[in-house]
Structure 1
Amino acid sequence: MMDPFQAHCKMEVTLAVISGKWKADIVQMLSDGSPRRYGFFQKNLPEVTPKILTNQLRELENAGILTRVIYPEVPVRVEYQLTEAGLDLLPILEAMERWALSYIEKIQQRGCEM
């Protein structure tokens, strides 16, 4: 991830944290506060490969957006949950979704394709 202190525009920091095809989906799936296991994400994001999913989860963890808790059981149980920073990100993602819906509607009204 980029150095947040070197960003020309501070919005770049937010975009760097959430950039990635599946990161917003992962954060949204954790938005109710419940911990989720890896299999939950695999089931609900069937298009994503295991390698990419692992990478996206790791990047969100490294950015401090989610935590990964490993339980010493057999088999090992790993759970993911949003951190305070991750919870703070939710209103931003919700605003982005509202903007996207409005934008799509305006584009459709003009008869344009995306």
Structure 2
Amino acid sequence: MGKILELYQNTLDCPVRTVLDRIGDKWSMLAILILGEEETMRFNELQKSMKDISQKMLTVTLRKLESDGLVNRTIFPEIPPRVEYNLTERGRSLLPHIHGLSSWANENIVGIKESRKKVAN
């Protein structure tokens, strides 16, 4: 068995599963893509860009991305406090891969939906 396959079979140590578990949720990739386009955004601007996300879910999403070193959170000591978010170098390095996955998904979604219909029937 190859080393890569062995690594993927250990679910606790698998880097791909660990990363996809974090960025594969409903909101993380969208937040990364928006921050990749806008560079720096305040919380409310980001929330408006993501439309259906609640304040609590955006907070949770940004904290997770920050804990993985993908997003920077900068607090400015003003009244009221101003908080800005931007991608770290690690976060920016993820963008081409997300764009590639997005392209692949757009190219294949029709076939995927057709396959799902066949299996469902």
Bucket of the pairwise TM-score, normalised by the shorter protein: 0.7 to 0.9
> How big is the shift at 1:92?
1.1
Q: Which of residues 88, 93, 114 in structure 1 aligns to 2:93?
A: 88
Partner in structure 1 of residue 79 of structure 2 = 74
Structure 2 gap segments, 5+ residues each? 1-11
Runs of 4+ with deviation above 2 angstroms: 105-114
In structure 1, how many angstroms separate the alpha carbons of the residues matched to 2:23 and 2:115?
A: 30
In structure 2, how many angstroms separate the alpha carbons of the residues matched to 1:105 and 1:112?
A: 11
Number of matched residues?
108
Which SS does the other structure have where 2:75 is aligned? strand
TM-score, L = length of structure 1: 0.83
Which SS does the other structure have where 2:73 is aligned? strand
Q: Greater CA radius of gyration, 1 or 2? A: 2
Asked if 2 retains the 8 angstrom alpha-carbon contact of 1:33 and 1:82, the reply is no
Q: Which of residues 60, 68, 71 in structure 1 aligns to 2:65?
A: 60
Q: Deviations over 1:25-69 (max 9, x none)?
A: 100011136210001122112211111110001100011000000
Structure 1 gap segments, 5+ residues each? 1-5
In structure 1, how many angstroms separate the alpha carbons of the residues matched to 2:28 and 2:81?
A: 24
Q: Identity of paired residues, percent?
A: 34
Greater fraction of residues in helix: 2
Which SS does the other structure have where 2:85 is aligned? strand
TM-score, L = length of structure 2: 0.78
In structure 1, how many angstroms separate the alpha carbons of the residues matched to 2:60 and 2:67?
A: 10
CA-based RMSD: 2.2
